[in-house]
């Protein structure tokens, strides 16, 4: 079936992108501001609608993750082992504290009023940013993990921690003394990304081997029977399968459908409940390193940024595309039931 419409452009490319690999990007919960962390040692704040760079903050090492606190401040996780708070309006930053190795992930919990960081030092730390500056006053707790932390995700009071060795720990933020559940990934290969469903019932987890697993928190037999995994971000060439890492997962805030981004340069949109692919955007210049929907789901930010999965080689420049999302791309299609026989 050929469509009369040409495939939509990749979106509007933001000016002043990072000068090295993009580690993450996130929309604010309050506006179309976009926070971007990069291996070029910066965190940048953009107004995605106006295509303007609102602020830039230099760190002592590559920045591996970032998140918003509110529209005027955010937090960052750096390879120089530091956890920083950044105040955009005053152009200042302070160090909340440190890990013993690079800090890979950072999240802010509105439910707990805490910053949560995961590091390659095999620990999770919780911080109270309201404490005065200085590690002793801001550190709430340190929680050992089975392996290096690769990805974190929050929904309400639930925290999901994915580590090396395919381990997954599920915590209740109100009782961090031990995980509520200790799991193993149902995928055979290294975990790349974990993201909780917006409705709080489970999480999606992606691996380096072109697969995504859909998991549920409820351990009852009925709930566990609903879990499944699917292949994606692959292609057949000369009779063999070429398989790409799935680096990014982002849920649509209105419809609960989700986008995945892979090292194949494609962004796919999925309806997890109906096990269907809704849309595939035209190919981006290089690997998709990160994805984020805006708070109302009208915009999708895409980091097209080589993730060095094939080592040092010439590659397209790092770029951020902001695309307007059409409802048809993200809205689940109603199930069509066959007409009963007359």
Strand stretches in 244-327, DSSP E: 246-251, 258-262, 267-271, 276-280, 288-293, 299-304, 319-324
* Nearest by Cα to 151 from 186, 99, 203, 201: 203
Q: What are phi and psi of 204, to 5 degrees?
A: -105, 140
Domain ranges across the chain: 22-144, 192-330
pLDDT tens sequence across 200-240: 999 999 999 999 999 999 999 999 999 999 999 999 888 89
Element (H, E) at 282: none
Residue 164 DSSP one-character state = G
In CATH, the number for domain 22-144 is: 2.130.10.10
How much is the pLDDT for 132?
Answer: 58
Residue 77 above 50 pLDDT?
Answer: yes
Cβ proximity of 79 and 23 under 8 Å:
no
Q: Residues 55-75: what's their mean pLDDT?
A: 95
How much is the pLDDT for 136?
Answer: 58
Q: pLDDT confidence of 92, banded at 50, 70, 90?
A: confident
Q: Do domains 22-144 and 192-330 have the same CATH topology?
A: yes
Q: Tell me the C-alpha distance between 288 and 65, whole Å.
A: 15
pLDDT tens sequence across 311-334: 788 888 999 999 999 999 999 988
pLDDT tens sequence across 172-182: 999 999 999 99
* Nearest by Cα to 155 from 124, 111, 204: 111
Q: Tell me the C-alpha distance between 163 and 166, whole Å.
A: 6
Residue 135 above 60 pLDDT?
Answer: no
How much is the pLDDT for 341?
Answer: 61
Q: What are phi and psi of 136, to 5 degrees?
A: -60, -35
Three-class secondary structure of residue 2 per DSSP:
coil
How much is the pLDDT for 3?
Answer: 44
Higher pLDDT, 205 or 130: 205
Q: What are phi and psi of 109, to 5 degrees?
A: -95, 115
How much is the pLDDT for 40?
Answer: 97
Q: Tell me the C-alpha distance between 222 and 167, whole Å.
A: 23
Residue 191 above 80 pLDDT?
Answer: yes
Q: Percent of the chain, pLDDT > 90?
A: 84
Higher pLDDT, 100 or 315: 100
Question: What CATH superfamily classification does 192-330 receive?
Answer: YVTN repeat-like/Quinoprotein amine dehydrogenase (2.130.10.10)
How much is the pLDDT for 52?
Answer: 95
How much is the pLDDT for 308?
Answer: 81
pLDDT tens sequence across 271-300: 999 999 999 999 999 999 999 999 999 999
Burial environment of residue 156 by CB neighbours within 10 A (0 to 12, 13 to 18, 19 or more): middle
Q: Tell me the C-alpha distance between 36 and 303, whole Å.
A: 9
Residues in the chain: 342
* Nearest by Cα to 302 from 315, 317, 316, 319: 319
Q: What is the mean pLDDT of the chain?
A: 93
* Nearest by Cα to 243 from 199, 212, 277: 212
């Amino acid at each position: 079936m050929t469509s009369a419409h040409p495939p939509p452009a990749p979106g509007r490319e933001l000016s002043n992108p990072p000068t090295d690999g993009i580690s993450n990007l996130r929309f604010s919960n309050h506006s179309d501001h976009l926070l971007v962390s990069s291996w070029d040692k910066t965190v940048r704040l953009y107004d995605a609608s106006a295509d303007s760079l609102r602020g830039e903050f230099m760190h002592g090492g590559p920045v591996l993750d970032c998140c918003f606190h509110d529209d005027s401040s955010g937090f960052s996780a750096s390879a120089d082992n530091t956890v920083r708070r950044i105040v955009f309006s005053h152009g200042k930053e302070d160090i909340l504290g440190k890990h013993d190795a690079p800090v890979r992930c950072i999240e802010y919990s509105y439910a707990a009023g805490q910053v949560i960081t995961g590091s390659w030092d095999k620990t999770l730390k919780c911080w109270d940013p309201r404490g005065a500056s200085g590690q002793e006053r801001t550190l709430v707790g340190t929680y050992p993990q089975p392996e290096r932390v690769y990805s974190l995700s929050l929904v309400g009071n639930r925290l999901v921690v994915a580590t090396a060795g395919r381990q997954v720990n599920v915590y209740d933020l109100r009782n961090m003394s031990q995980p509520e559940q200790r799991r193993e990934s149902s995928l055979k290969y290294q975990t790349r990304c974990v993201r909780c469903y917006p409705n709080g019932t489970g999480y999606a987890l992606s691996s380096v081997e072109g697969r995504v697993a859909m998991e549920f928190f409820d351990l009852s037999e009925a709930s566990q029977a609903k879990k499944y995994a699917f292949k994606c971000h692959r292609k057949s060439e000369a009779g063999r399968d070429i398989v790409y890492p799935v680096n990014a997962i982002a849920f649509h805030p209105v419809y609960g459908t989700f986008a995945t981004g892979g090292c194949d340069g494609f962004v796919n949109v999925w309806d997890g409940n109906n096990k269907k692919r809704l849309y595939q955007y035209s190919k981006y210049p290089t690997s998709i390193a990160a994805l984020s929907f805006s708070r109302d789901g009208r915009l999708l930010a895409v980091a097209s940024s080589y993730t060095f999965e094939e080592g040092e080689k010439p590659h397209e420049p790092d770029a951020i595309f902001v695309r307007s999302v059409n409802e048809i791309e993200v809205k689940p299609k109603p199930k069509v039931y066959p007409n009963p026989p007359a």
